[in-house]
Amino acid sequence: MQANIALQREPFDAAAEVAALTRGRTDIGAVVTFTGICRGEENGAPITALTLEHYPEMAQAEIARQVEAAQGRWALLGVRIIHRFGRITPGEEIVLVVTASSHRHDAFAAAEFLMDYLKTRAPFWKEVEQEGRRSWVAAKESDESAAARWVARAAE
C-alpha cells in the first residue's frame, strides 16, 4: 500500500482526496476522513490566525513511520495525509487524514491512531495570534495520553 503524504501551504479539498483514493477500486469497503479545522477561539479568547511552523524533512519521515506502524496494526488499503503549514485563519482546514480498508473497524481505528500520533510526534508547532499578540500554543497533556493509550493497547 502506497501512503500518500503531503505537507503544503495551500488548502485542500477533502472530498476530492477521498475520490482520488477510491477511484476505480472495488476492494475498499470503508473510508474514514478526519479534517482538523482552525477554531475561532483558544482558551476562551478569539483568535485572528494560527501560524504553523514545521521541520519539513523530519515531518515527512516521521509521518511515514506512523503510517507504517498503522499498516502493521490494521488491514489498510489506502492512506492519505495532508498537513498544512504557514498562516491559517479560523474556519480553514489544517490537517486531513483519510484511511481506507475493507471493513470499517480498521479504517476508524487507524485514522484515530494517526491523528493521535500526528498531534504528539509530527514536528509542527502552532503559534496563535490573539488580540494583536503572538504566542506559542502549549502541548496538551490530554494529547499525550491519547497517543499513549495506543501503546497500552498494543501491549494487551
Partner 1 sequence: MKLLYFAWLRERIGKNAEEIELPSGVATVADLVAFLASRGEEYAHAFQNPGAVRAAIDRAHVKADAPIAGAHEIAFFPPMTGG
Q: Which residues bind partner 1 (CB under 8 A)?
A: 36, 52-55, 57-58, 61-62, 65, 83, 94-95, 115, 118-127, 136-140, 143
CB of 44 to partner 1, least distance (A): 18
| Residue placing its CB nearer to partner 1 in the complex, 129 or 143 | 143
| Residue placing its CB nearer to partner 1 in the complex, 66 or 77 | 66
CB of 17 to partner 1, least distance (A): 17
Q: 115: how many CB neighbours lie within 10 A of its CB?
A: 19
| Residue placing its CB nearer to partner 1 in the complex, 21 or 84 | 84
d(CA 42, CA 135): 11
Strand locations in 3-85, DSSP E? 3-8, 30-37, 41-42, 45-46, 49-54, 76-84
d(CA 52, CA 69): 25
| Residue placing its CB nearer to partner 1 in the complex, 31 or 59 | 59
CB of 89 to partner 1, least distance (A): 17
Q: Per-residue DSSP letters for 93-115?
A: EEEEEEEEESSHHHHHHHHHHHH
Single-letter amino acid, residue 103: H
First to last CA, the chain: 27
CB of 21 to partner 1, least distance (A): 20
CB of 34 to partner 1, least distance (A): 9
| Residue placing its CB nearer to partner 1 in the complex, 18 or 96 | 96
How far, in Å, are 34, 39, 56, 76, 89 from residue 68 at the CA level?
18, 30, 18, 10, 32
